[in-house]
Amino acid sequence: MASSTLIHERHIVISPTLAATIGLEEAVMLQVLHDAAIFGVANGHWREIGKEELLRLLPFWDERTCQRISASLRDKGVIGIDSAPLDQSDRLRFNLDAVAREPAPAASPSSSAKLTGGKTLMAERWRPDAELLRQLALHGITAAFAEAQVEEFVLYWSDRGDPAYSWNAKFRSHVIRRWREHEAAAVPDDLPRRIAADWRPDADAIEILDRAGVASQFVEDSIPEFVLYWSERGETARTWNSRFVTHVKRQWIRYSSTVAIEGEPRRLSSDWQPSGDVYDILHMANIDATFARGLLPEFLMFWTDSGEAHSSWNSKFLQHIKYQWARRDRPLQPGESAHGQRPGSGGTGSTRARSLVEDLTDRSWAE
């Protein structure tokens, strides 16, 4: 009996055990790559196959599917990949080592270009795919626990700005590490919880804020009010660190724009008014706005009479209110005026003209 004319191509033979271990699609592509490695262009352990040839050998898949499956093989450590994604490259460069390794830094110029082209930055709305969650489930890690780590992971790598070949692979390592810490501590980190009275941001959160240029003392001053606010609200959350980072960044931008150098030094006009952000910052420090407005007339009188010029009157007023708030219940010392200056000092004591760095690190109001 004549064989069917429909069966005239080379068969793809796969191992059932392999398919059950790494997935059916992965097993099919691995077999095709294995066959291609025998005849493909070789460079040490690396082999290459053109994208058109790969799609010809796998006509039942499109370019995007081939990219997804090849990335899955790489993330599982079955193959190594040293080329850009298929939608950005005309070939797939791979090796079939049991444990895939990235190329050494001392690669050739052409190899380095491919290395750079294959990396991508963290997307703002990045999410792990379903296949990755399935892999994590094999480790006994629940989907809820993995999802709880996404916000912190995305925020950290977005701030660092470092590219990577596979964010799924990085996230997999990150979640497994967190899961092991969770098991060792026997704390249900995957469940929402209220903020503790002695809560502090962890080292990763501090590093993110430091990289963003937030003054360390500003971060320290933000912790008590953050804890107090959420303690009084009684809400629960999975990631207090992420919420703290977002809060401090937003307040830092507002604070910086308020106390930033406003231009050339100038005298204070009699009808000057502080910006609305000043009162927002005072509210952050739990200082009553009515108290601040009550001191505005004497502030105007003092500085218009002095005739001194300053670059930022918002900053000057802010520091003056903090000074007076901290000393509102303390009697004046001999020779000390309501503005914290002593006659003949040639300045204004705690409210004298200072650099922005000194303003940011002044904590006398909180003592």
pLDDT in tens, 28-48: 988 888 888 776 555 667 788
pLDDT band at 362 (very low <50, low <70, confident <90, very high): low
Say how far apart CA 218 and CA 237 lie, in whole Å.
23
Least confident residue range of 31-40, 196-205, 290-299? 31-40
In this predicted structure, what is the pLDDT of residue 171? Answer: 92
Give me the mean pLDDT over the 193-206 stretch: 88
- Look at residue 363 in the predicted model and tell me its pLDDT: 52
SS3 48: strand
User: HSE on the CB side for 75, CA within 13 Å?
Assistant: 27
Instruction: Answer yes or no: are the C-beta atoms of 192 and 230 closer than 8 Å.
Output: no
HSE-CB at 227 with a 13 A cutoff on CA atoms is 11
Following DSSP, what letter does each residue of 145-194 receive, concatenated?
HHHHTHHHHHHHHHHH---BS-HHHHHHHHHHHHHHHHHHHT--TTS-EE
Sign for the pseudo-dihedral over CA of 184, 189, 193, 195: positive
Residue 257's nearest CA partner among 314, 309, 212 is 314
User: Is the pLDDT at 212 greater than 80, yes or no?
Assistant: yes
Nearest to 103 by CA among 54, 48, 44, 50: 44
Which residues does 273 contact at the CB level (< 8 Å), separation at least 6?
296
Residue 12 pLDDT greater than 70, yes or no: yes
Angle, alpha carbons 51-29-70 (nearest 5°): 65
Q: Which carries the bigger pLDDT value, residue 7 or residue 74?
A: 74
The mean of the pLDDT values for the chain is 75
Q: For residue range 144-199, what is the model confidence (pLDDT) as tens digits?
A: 899 999 988 998 888 888 888 788 888 988 999 888 887 776 545 557 888 888 89
Q: What is the mean pLDDT of residues 80-105?
A: 68
Q: Whose structure tokens read 């990085």?
A: 170
Contact 93, 47 (CB under 8 A): yes
Q: How far apart are CA 350 and CA 323, in angstroms?
A: 7
pLDDT band for position 346 (50/70/90)? very low
Checking if the pLDDT of 6 tops 50, the result is no
Asked if pLDDT for residue 315 goes beyond 60, the answer is: yes
Model confidence over 329-340: pLDDT tens digits? 555 555 544 444
In tens, the pLDDT along 223-282 reads 988 888 888 888 888 888 888 998 888 888 877 766 554 556 888 888 889 888 788 888
More confident site: 288 or 343: 288
Q: Is the pLDDT of residue 303 over 50?
A: yes
| pLDDT value of residue 17 | 83
Mean pLDDT value across residues 284-310: 85
Residue 317 predicted with pLDDT over 60: yes
Give pLDDT tens digits for 42-74.
566 778 888 898 899 888 899 889 989 988 888
More confident residue, 311 or 356: 311
Q: Which residues of 328-337 are buried (b: 16+ CB within 10 A; e: fewer)?
A: eeeeeeeeee
Radius of gyration of the chain (CA): 31
